[in-house]
Amino acid sequence: MGHAVGDALVLLDTTDVAAIAMSFGSIGLSYLYRGITVDRDISTDTNRAFAYQSVNLRPLSPIALTGNRDSSSNDWALSWIRRTRDGGEWRDNVDASLSEASESYAIDVYADGSYAAVKRTITVSSPSCVYASTDQVSDFGANQATLYLKLYQISATVGRGYPLTTSITR
């Protein structure tokens, strides 16, 4: 799956793996590493550059985006469910922790299904928003029956998380 003959790899034993603590100041900086196995000399491998990209800090994409268009106003009401990187079990009937400094989202509204041209970005601090008819007319010249959206949870540390990319037609 995605590997070719001759690719270098490191077999990880889950009992011996530990996360390397990285400070926020290390994000994007390149460090040199060597993958040396048990009983091998450090000279048996060469340095490999790796830049910490804070993938583990990016918020997961929200899920279950739903939307309804009000037939009288043509406003879209959108809502979704957030996810967390911290635990996530719903064992005690209490929502999972946010794992962010504050709750924040960005919804990019695209011109079409190519997801190339952003017409508007809506920012909110709860898992719902309204895309008003007046904004649709301003963005497109008419109310929209289909929305092409990318929805992100925002981290105060690393910015946008992974997107939920979807379209909704009503």
pLDDT digits (tens, 9 = 90+) for 40-63: 898 988 999 989 888 888 999 999
Cα separation of 102 and 126, whole Å? 10
Mean pLDDT of the chain, nearest integer: 89
Cα separation of 104 and 121, whole Å? 13
Residue 49 vs residue 91, higher pLDDT: 49
Q: Parallel, antiparallel, or unpaired: how do β-strands 128-131 and 118-124 relate?
A: unpaired
| pLDDT tens-digit series, residues 102-153 | 899 999 999 999 999 999 999 999 999 999 999 999 999 999 999 999 999 9
Confidence class of residue 9 from pLDDT cuts 50, 70 and 90?
Answer: confident
Confidence class of residue 95 from pLDDT cuts 50, 70 and 90?
Answer: low
At 118 the pLDDT is 98
Single-letter amino acid code for the residue at 2: G
| pLDDT tens-digit series, residues 72-83 | 999 999 999 998
The closest of 87, 83, 26, 80 to 59, measured between CA atoms, is: 83
Q: Parallel, antiparallel, or unpaired: how do β-strands 30-33 and 48-51 relate?
A: antiparallel
Bridge partners, 109 (sequence order)? 120, 149
Q: Which helix (H) or strand (E) holds 134?
A: helix 133-140
The fold adopted by the segment(s) 58-169 is Immunoglobulin-like (2.60.40)
Average pLDDT, stretch 8-31? Answer: 82
User: Where are the domains positioned within the chain?
Assistant: 58-169
At 77 the pLDDT is 98
